A = this chain, B = another copy of it.
Amino acid sequence: MPALYAVIMAGGRGERFWPLSTRKLPKPFIPLLGSSSLLQDTIARIQPIVPLERVLISIGAEHFEIARQQLPQIPAENFIVEPVGRDTAACLGFCALHIEQRDSEGIMLALPADHFVSDEPAYISTLRKGLENLEGSTGVVFGVLPTRAETGYGYILAEKPAINADAWPVVRFVEKPDASTARQYLASGNYFWNSGMFLWSNRTLLGLFQKHMPETYTGLCKLRPLLGNSSSAAELIRIFSALPRMSIDFGIMEKASGLRLVPVQFVWDDIGNWASLERALLSDAHGNIAQGPHVALESRGCIIYAKDGTVATFGVSDLVIVQAYGKVLVCSKDKAADLKRLVTALGPQEA
């Protein structure tokens, strides 16, 4: 079997986890769920099937230092630095060039760096099922059977197979639904959340670029001879910057045929905002979730993150309270998904 490479996508902005995350320290790099960062958790989780020398980290130039600090065990050449952010299609196309250079037969497992996974053995077992079902497909996507009528995720419609229930033929990718559509998807049993985790033969992926994103593919072909050649950095930046800004979902997955979906066997969450922590962390008897020193008196359903000092609550409910870097956020839980608006109101000085 060809060698498996993991591409960990550690891009992203800091707005939804202000004040703990910032532009300089976005979500993948913060210890949202414990003492290690989400990126560190992702690397640790993948270890049983991908050795460190085949783990590639895709990051923006401004996060290179912090990524090296957090991941000293990853070889320096495995940090794939994007000169500018051009969304996931350009990111994965660029990574595909790096894998191709090392191993023309390689398989790429693309993983977001900032998701929650409940059960590591089940996670590895799900990924193995993906690998077992890759051959003969255009690619494998990992889908999550919905547990609520979520309107914040993209969905994938798949067809329940007659025999091998490990891999469902993908019918199509669909955009984020409205609430009533989301309820239909939840009831159907054939619609899955798009986890953003994908598996491809690296060569097949480059072929998908050629077919569905020819402009990006042309750019990638120009980038190919420049890799690892520091004298051509300016040229590389120029070409990369000209790549279309597009997600892999929109650019390729929605158009490709022959994809398979493997349903995941673990609890998954993209931890999209502070309120998501309720799905990833255990609460106390009064429904409060807390990280860091805190005292909660007559308080219910609060999410508390105290980075540097004690947070004390008294007689409050359903709040998100975050203290970090001398800043304090107190937000109604039902506004957490909308935090960008507050960050905008705060202005560039504070954000």
A contacts, CB < 8 Å to B = 18-19, 295, 297-298, 306, 308-316, 319, 321, 323, 325-332, 334-335, 338-339, 341-342, 345-346, 350
Contacts and interface: CB of A to CB of B under 8 A. Distances in A.
23 contacts: A18-B312, A19-B312, A297-B342, A297-B345, A298-B335, A310-B328, A310-B346, A311-B327, A311-B328, A312-B327, A312-B328, A312-B345, A312-B346, A313-B330, A313-B331, A314-B329, A314-B330, A316-B330, A316-B332, A319-B330, A321-B330, A323-B323, A323-B326
A293 to B, nearest CB: 8
A336 to B, nearest CB: 8
A309 B297 contact: no
Q: Which of A306, A330, A334 has the most CB of B within 10 A?
A: A330
A240 to B, nearest CB: 36
A330 B311 contact: yes
A18 B309 CA distance: 14
B309 A328 contact: yes
Contacts of A311: 327-328, 330
Contact of A341 (B297, B321, B329, B330): B297
Q: How many copies does the complex hold?
A: 2
Contact of A330 (B312, B339, B345): B312
A21 to B, nearest CB: 14
B308 A326 contact: yes
A19 B328 CA distance: 14
Contacts of A335: 298, 314-315
B327 A314 contact: no
Contacts of A316: 319, 330-332
Contacts of A295: 342, 345-346, 350
Contacts of A350: 295, 310, 312
A325 to B, nearest CB: 7
B330 A330 contact: yes
Contacts of A338: 314
Given A332-B314, A334-B315, A327 B309 contact: yes
B326 A339 contact: no
A71 B53 CA distance: 66
Contacts of A313: 329-331
A342 B309 contact: no
A331 B309 contact: no
Q: Which of A332, A338, A339 has the most CB of B within 10 A?
A: A332
